[in-house]
Amino acid sequence: MCYVNGVRVSMETYIRYKEKLLELKEINARILNQPVKNGFEYVLWPVIKPMDDVNDFNLLAMEWGFIPGYLKDMEAVKRFRFGYKDAAGKFHAPYTTLNAVGESLLDDGKMFRTAAKNNRCIILSSGFYEYRHIKVMGKKGKELKHPQKFPYFISVKDKPYFFMAGIFNTWTDQSTGETIDSFAIVTTKANSLMQQVHNSKQRMPVILPQALAEEWTNKNLSEERIKELSSFQFPANEIQAYTVAKDFLQIENPETRFDYEQLPELLTPNS
């Protein structure tokens, strides 16, 4: 998690950030209208990136899927992301860097440590998707091995868009000189609502309210404060979650509500 995200922001909308209004005319409209995308497609996504001036920022397209600096070229990136067989025929499993675990961002030796210290950004979202796992009883009264999965659309109440904490890296292909800005979404422990929805892993993206989002991109943050923000748990009572169709990845309006019979309702969170 969070591997499926969505964004719908019209070109008439202004993004309010650091006491400024950012007009969206300079970014491709297609980047701002992606109601559902699977992160494993390694798509371009709208990201707020801080500039050298501590109060300045820009909204630009970055590739979802953090590319570590030690990968030399695109062939190495493909092997990293999709896995490969070596000369002996042994398969080497891929690495997933769509997300970064907030609690361990600054651990010594971790891939994300430098980016967490120096390259923090904000991911724009209108809602993301997670699966709820429900245990199923078989004909003989025994629990089946595989639970049923029901997709949910999760968003912030009364907000057309919201902010997720992210980290980025500007990667250079050593064979061509091409550079790519890529990012990972920071995740934390699930709040009381997301524990029910994403009940298999009990994780959620670090959703930041306006003030904390602006603080996250402050270049002068201490490591202690970075750790605090990277584990921030957005209030459960400010989030809404409802079921969508199981083929939501293929339909025009994936966030449309779809109800399932006999699916237990979510308990109303207190905070």
What SS3 class is residue 131? strand
Give, as one character, the DSSP assignment of residue 230: H
CATH topology of domain 4-126+158-237: hypothetical protein yedk fold (3.90.1680)
Per-residue pLDDT of the chain (271 residues; tens, 9 = 90+): 589 999 988 766 777 777 776 666 667 778 889 999 999 999 999 999 988 765 678 888 999 999 999 999 999 999 999 999 999 999 999 999 999 999 999 999 889 999 999 999 999 999 999 999 998 766 666 767 778 999 999 999 999 999 999 999 999 999 999 999 999 999 999 999 999 999 889 999 999 999 999 999 998 999 999 999 999 999 999 999 999 999 999 999 999 999 998 899 998 877 6
CA angle 47, 21, 205 (to 5 degrees): 35
Can you give the pLDDT at residue 143?
A: 67
Structure tokens belonging to residue 82: 């999709």
User: How many angstroms separate the CA atoms of 271 and 268, rounded?
Assistant: 9
- Going by C-alpha positions, the residue among 209, 1, 241, 219 that lies closest to residue 102 is 1
Asked whether the CA dihedral 152, 156, 162, 166 is positive or negative, the reply is: negative
Can you give the pLDDT at residue 141?
A: 64
Q: What global pTM score does this model have?
A: 0.93
How far is it between the farthest Cα atoms of the chain?
66
Where do the domains of the chain lie? 4-126+158-237
Rounded to a whole number of angstroms, the distance between the first and last alpha carbons of the chain is 22
Can you give the pLDDT at residue 55?
A: 65
Q: Hey, which residues does 122 pair with through a beta bridge?
A: 48, 165
| CA distances to 3, 40, 198 from 128, in Å | 8, 14, 12
User: How many angstroms separate the CA atoms of 223 and 112, rounded?
Assistant: 13
